[in-house]
Copies of this chain bind each other. A is one copy, B any other.
């Protein structure tokens, strides 16, 4: 049963499991104690820190273990902002950061700070110029992910780091998605990561703070982990995290090349096998194992359910699969279609057969969902009016776009269709549909009970 959501959580790497077992026997005591069990725990902790620091590319005394990647981000952002409070209160983040970074930014704004979001292009990448424009004399910290967790696009971290260095602003790099594949090759100031993303155990994040970076830990004091991560050390998991990071790194080059081929295959075949699909993210500058695409006229939750029934576990940024009924902020920032969204992230060891099996199942699953929604082959209809207005109030994604697609043939080339919708996703998906179909998106205007989106037919 192939599991294709390793970007959410990876099954435990065999090396992590072995190390965890051993450390449960040897490393349960308090490493601050002077007796033999404590000294043994201290040796294990020191060795794990050395190994993790080597993999990160920093000194051991620059790295602490936290209870999760989210904790690493929250702690890193808060500590760096507080350390430079006198410089100013501006935090600069990309629009496509992980929610842990954006939530830390929200907390900063709620506490009176300012937050500037750097936009991304349609492939999901920031530009160094975007950071240069955002940085100011009052910027305390900039954050940028090494690679995007939803679409796989690799960010120009080295170039952004240069821009930040020139402005004297520390850069925090969230390396959660990429650290298992290699070091972040850039002069970052702070770096965060999460062990369960590379096959390590849950419960462990990494926070590295370069010497010389001003850092003031927030929250109650605690003497452990250089005062940067409170609570009793989860030593067995730390040992397992460090051991598995070394192990996946040893395999990274070969496995990356192998998975890159499989993902290229998915990118090509999905575009060919599934009608009305948009494969998103950068085709070249990307994570080796991750690909995301969106299918027009498809309800993401139903599609995930169909794929799950067929034995494939994937994830989605569609609004209907989120508890808030809003689409992924990443897809929104990129301005790409969110309906029928599927993220495939291959675990290490995924076979070509498993990928081929997925590609066999997918077209039928998409077609099945479309059939349920009553989406058939486009029927040639005669135009009935120069302009039409559709009342799609109360309809949820993907229905407003389906209604629009049905109606566009009923106006002549040059004519307009206006969709009245109260579904927040329409704001993203109607322009994205226009871009995919080549129609002109004329814009939106407020209406009682919703928003009117107007499209001009071009062909």
Which residues in A have some Cβ–Cβ distance to B below 8 Å?
1, 3, 5, 8-12, 17, 20, 24, 28-30, 33-38, 67-71, 74, 78, 99-100, 103-104, 106-107, 194, 196, 201-203, 205, 219-223, 230-237, 301, 304-305, 307-308, 313-315, 321, 323
Contacts and interface: CB of A to CB of B under 8 A. Distances in A.
User: What 7 pairs across the A-B complex have the smallest Cβ distances?
Assistant: A68-B231, A67-B67, A203-B234, A35-B313, A103-B220, A70-B231, A107-B220
Given A8-B29, A70-B232, 20 more contacts: A3-B29, A5-B30, A5-B33, A34-B301, A34-B305, A35-B307, A36-B308, A36-B313, A67-B68, A67-B234, A68-B231, A69-B231, A70-B230, A71-B230, A71-B231, A104-B220, A202-B233, A202-B236, A202-B237, A223-B323
Given A28-B12, A203-B234, A231-B69, A35 B5 contact: yes
A156 to B, nearest CB: 26
Contacts of A70: 222, 230-232
A196 B232 contact: yes
A71 B67 CA distance: 10
A220 B100 contact: yes
Nearest to A103: B220
A357 to B, nearest CB: 16
Contact of A232 (B11, B202, B223): B202
A234 B196 CA distance: 10
B74 A34 contact: no
A74 B220 contact: yes
A313 B232 contact: no
Contacts of A17: 24
A269 to B, nearest CB: 22
Contacts of A5: 29-30, 33, 35, 37
28 contacts: A3-B37, A5-B29, A8-B33, A9-B28, A12-B28, A17-B24, A28-B196, A28-B202, A33-B315, A34-B321, A35-B304, A36-B313, A38-B313, A67-B231, A68-B231, A68-B234, A99-B222, A100-B222, A103-B220, A103-B221, A104-B220, A106-B220, A107-B220, A194-B232, A196-B232, A201-B236, A202-B235, A234-B237
